[in-house]
Amino acid sequence: MPANAPNTLSIHEAQSLLRSRQLSSRELTQSCLARIHSLEPRLRALLAVCDEQALQQAGEADRILAAGNPAPLTGIPYISKDVLCTKGVPTTCGSRILEGFVPPYDATVIRRLREQHAVLLGKSNMDEFAMGSSTEHSAYFPTANPWRLDRVPGGSSGGSAAAMASCEALFTLGSDTGGSIRQPAGFCGVVGLKPTYGRVSRYGLVAFASSLDQIGPFTRDAEDCAIVMNAIAGPCEMDATSSPLPPPDYRTALKGDIRGLRIGVPREYFIEGMQAEVRRSVEEAIRLLERLGATVDWDVTLPSTSYALAAYYIIAPSEASANLARFDGVKYGLTRDGATAEEMVIASRGAGFGPEVKRRIMLGTYALSSGYYDAYYLKAQKVRHLIRAEFDRAFQSCDVLVTPTSPTVAFPLGSKLDDPIQMYLSDVFTLPVNIAGIPGLSLPCGFVDGLPVGLQLMANRFDEEALLHVAYAYQQQTDWHLRRPSL
Ligand code: GLN
pLDDT digits (tens, 9 = 90+) for 296-307: 999 999 999 999
Q: Report yes or no on 125 lying in a domain.
A: yes
pLDDT at site 325: 94
Task: Kindly give the number of the ligand 1 atom that is closest to the alpha carbon of 434.
Answer: 8
> What's the rounded mean pLDDT across residues 445-458?
98
* Exposure of 322 in the CB half-sphere (CA atoms within 13 A): 11
Range of the domain at 156: 12-260
Q: Report yes or no on 321 lying in a domain.
A: no
> What's the rounded mean pLDDT across residues 266-292?
96
- Set 31, 81, 134, 348: catalytic member: 81
Rounded to the nearest angstrom, the distance between the alpha carbon of 84 and the centre of ligand 1 is: 16
How many structural domains are present in the chain?
A: 1
Best residue for ligand 1 mutational test, from 177, 213, 422 (most atoms within 8 Å of Cβ): 177
How far is Cα 383 from Cα 379, in angstroms, rounded to an integer? 6
Q: Report yes or no on 132 lying in a domain.
A: yes
- pLDDT band at residue 328 under the 50/70/90 scheme: confident
pLDDT at site 427: 95
Please say if the pLDDT value at position 377 is more than 90: yes
At residue 371, φ and ψ (nearest 5 deg) are: 95, -25
Is 0.85 topped by the overall pTM?
A: yes
Average pLDDT, the chain: 96
In three state form, how does the secondary structure of 302-328 look?
CHHHHHHHHHHHHHHHHHHHHHHHHCC
Q: Report yes or no on 86 lying in a domain.
A: yes
- pLDDT band at residue 341 under the 50/70/90 scheme: confident
**Paired strand residues for 49:** 122
pLDDT at site 252: 97
- pLDDT band at residue 429 under the 50/70/90 scheme: very high
Yes or no: say if 259 and 292 are a contact pair by the CB < 8 Å rule. Answer: yes
Yes or no: say if 422 and 406 are a contact pair by the CB < 8 Å rule. Answer: no
Rounded to the nearest angstrom, the distance between the alpha carbon of 449 and the centre of ligand 1 is: 26
Q: Report yes or no on 29 lying in a domain.
A: yes
Please indicate whether residue 406 is annotated as part of the active site: no
> What's the rounded mean pLDDT across residues 360-373?
96
Helix axes 25-43, 11-19, angle to 10 degrees: 150
Task: Kindly give the number of the ligand 1 atom that is closest to the alpha carbon of 313.
Answer: 10
Non-local (6+) Cβ contacts of 452 within 8 A are: 147, 186, 187, 188, 189, 409, 410, 444, 446, 480
Q: Which residues of 201-225 are buried (b: 16+ CB within 10 A; e: fewer)?
A: bbbbbbbbbebbbbbbbbbbbbbbb
Rounded to the nearest angstrom, the distance between the alpha carbon of 210 and the centre of ligand 1 is: 13
Yes or no: say if 71 and 194 are a contact pair by the CB < 8 Å rule. Answer: no
- Looking at 3-12, 125-134, 162-171, which range is the least confident one? 3-12
Task: Kindly give the number of the ligand 1 atom that is closest to the alpha carbon of 208.
Answer: 9
Please say if the pLDDT value at position 333 is more than 70: no
User: For 186-233, what is each residue's pLDDT tens digit?
Assistant: 999 999 999 999 999 999 999 999 999 999 999 999 999 999 999 999
Best residue for ligand 1 mutational test, from 427, 433, 442 (most atoms within 8 Å of Cβ): 427
Rounded to the nearest angstrom, the distance between the alpha carbon of 437 and the centre of ligand 1 is: 15
For residue 49, give the DSSP letter. Answer: E
- Cα dist. 471→129, 293, 400 in Å? 30, 14, 11
User: For 64-75, what is each residue's pLDDT tens digit?
Assistant: 999 999 999 999
pLDDT at site 331: 78
Residue 138's domain is classified under what CATH number?
A: 3.90.1300.10
Instruction: From 134, 139, 355, 109, select the one nearest 232 (Cα to Cα).
Output: 109
CB burial class (10 A; 0-12, 13-18, 19+) of residue 120? buried
Please indicate whether residue 426 is annotated as part of the active site: no
Task: Kindly give the number of the ligand 1 atom that is closest to the alpha carbon of 212.
Answer: 8
For residue 205, give the DSSP letter. Answer: B
Q: Report yes or no on 79 lying in a domain.
A: yes
* E strand spans, 116-244: 119-124, 171-176, 191-194, 214-219
- Measured over the CA atoms of residue 178, residue 181, residue 186 and residue 188, the dihedral's sign is positive
Please indicate whether residue 180 is annotated as part of the active site: yes
Please say if the pLDDT value at position 237 is more than 90: yes
User: For 80-118, what is each residue's pLDDT tens digit?
Assistant: 999 999 999 999 999 999 999 999 999 999 999 999 999
**Regarding beta strands 77-81 and 171-176, do their DSSP bridges make them parallel or antiparallel, or are they unpaired?**
parallel
**Regarding beta strands 214-219 and 171-176, do their DSSP bridges make them parallel or antiparallel, or are they unpaired?**
antiparallel
**Paired strand residues for 412:** 151
Question: What residue ranges line ligand 1, CB within 6 angstroms?
Answer: 130-133, 156, 176-180, 208, 316, 427
pLDDT at site 225: 98
